[in-house]
Structure 1
Amino acid sequence: MDILGVDVFEAVVVAVWAMLPAYVPNNVAVLAGGGAPIDGGRTWNGERILGDGKTWRGTVAGVAAGAVLALGLNAINGPNASIFGARLPDPFPAVVIVAMPLGAMLGDMGASFLKRRTGRQRGAAFPGVDQLDFVVMALLLTSLSAPGWTLRTFTLPVLTVVVVVTPFLHLVTNMAAYMVGLKNEPW
């Protein structure tokens, strides 16, 4: 379907494909988490810096999962690749394979830092920030590491899809994790 000359279906396909290595890390971190917290239990102004929910094991597992997924997507994304008639973006450059999932994890840590500074406890809702923190940092790190690829891939229609679809995907996956007992709250 074209809207103002934009193939909406293709924009959705490119957005989801290109963001998968950023969408997966936080979910894997929940599954693989536990162990030593990144902040080592340290506080700042009486509040934990990040909290017990941000662990080394979860972060490493999340980044690794995102990188492995990007490698897998590259393996099936050949020249002129398409899916259901929509063109796929260029394969992930080597530096993006790490930058995107690392950015996603750093964005989540940044949100935890902000939550602690604003008096929110672990798991407390922080509307807007909770849904887009990882996207902003993933795209920032990706654009710094591979600006040409980022500009070619994340066009205005694709970015629009990312900003609109990500909060919905975030809520759906968190609700599912809550329903199966992996999270204590559904957001």
Structure 2
Amino acid sequence: MFYRLLFASLWYILPAYIANASACVFGGGTPLDLGKNFVDGRRIIGDGVTYKGSVFGIVCGTLVGLIQGILVDSNVFNSLDFYGTVLDHVILAFFLSTGAIVGDAMGSFIKRRLNIERGKPAPLLDQLDFVIGALVFGYLVAPIPHEMIIIICLFTVFIHLLGNIIAYKLGIKDVWW
């Protein structure tokens, strides 16, 4: 029972994970805040959240939803009670991916307000900003049980740290957190 819930939770949030990772990998270029400062004199978001990364993140996450929809439609996962059309999965993935990008941007906004520079750690905020954004946006389209939300948040903290450590070891990130 627990494994089914764990798998369903990860299946649900997978487009957001891919969106967040893709934004990092394919990012760069013009920042969303266009280099502007907020009323407090600090950058609105900073250089880490870019148009290119945001678009690639949303597109890649949405494509994952398309693949999920095709797999469900072809009955690959019929024993796990996944429902919905391919279009339902694409729409959910778009909302999850967009929420992940918005959540990441909000996390950067909060870090700037707290005077935490880009790349400096903000425990839990760094790990959960994108997933909270994804869950809020995704809940609008496909609400999930509270148990799944808890599993997603707990799993995300660990998987995010592990992913960052691997990215650091591969030279993709400058810091391990």
**TM-score, length-scaled by structure 1:** 0.86
Which residue of structure 1 lines up, in the alignment, with residue 111 of structure 2?
115
List gaps (5 residues or longer) in structure 1.
1-6
Alignment partner for residue 179 of structure 1, among 160, 166, 169?
A: 169
- Superposition map of 1:124-135 within 5 A: 124-135=120-131
Which residue of structure 2 lines up, in the alignment, with residue 3 of structure 1?
none
More helix, by proportion:
2
Q: Does 1:104 align with 2:100?
A: yes
SS in 2 for 1:37: coil
Native 8 Å contact 2:19 2:56 kept in 1: yes
List gaps (5 residues or longer) in structure 2.
none
RMSD of the TM alignment (CA)? 1.7
Alignment partner for residue 25 of structure 1, among 19, 28, 32?
A: 19
After TM superposition, the runs of 4+ consecutive aligned structure 1 residues lying more than 4 A away are none
Native 8 Å contact 1:131 1:170 kept in 2: yes
Native 8 Å contact 1:29 1:59 kept in 2: yes
Native 8 Å contact 2:35 2:47 kept in 1: yes
Quick check: 94-103 or 9-18, which moved more? 94-103
More strand, by proportion:
1
Which residue of structure 2 lines up, in the alignment, with residue 50 of structure 1?
45
Which residue of structure 2 lines up, in the alignment, with residue 12 of structure 1?
6
Structure 2 Cα separation of the partners of residues 96 and 59 of structure 1: 17
Which residue of structure 1 lines up, in the alignment, with residue 83 of structure 2?
90
Displacement of 1:155: 1.7
Structure 2 Cα separation of the partners of residues 164 and 81 of structure 1: 27
Native 8 Å contact 1:81 1:87 kept in 2: no
Native 8 Å contact 1:110 1:133 kept in 2: yes
**TM-score, length-scaled by structure 2:** 0.91
Letter in 2 for 1:69: V
Which residue of structure 2 lines up, in the alignment, with residue 78 of structure 1?
73
Native 8 Å contact 1:36 1:57 kept in 2: yes
Displacement of 1:48: 0.8
Percent same amino acid at aligned positions? 33
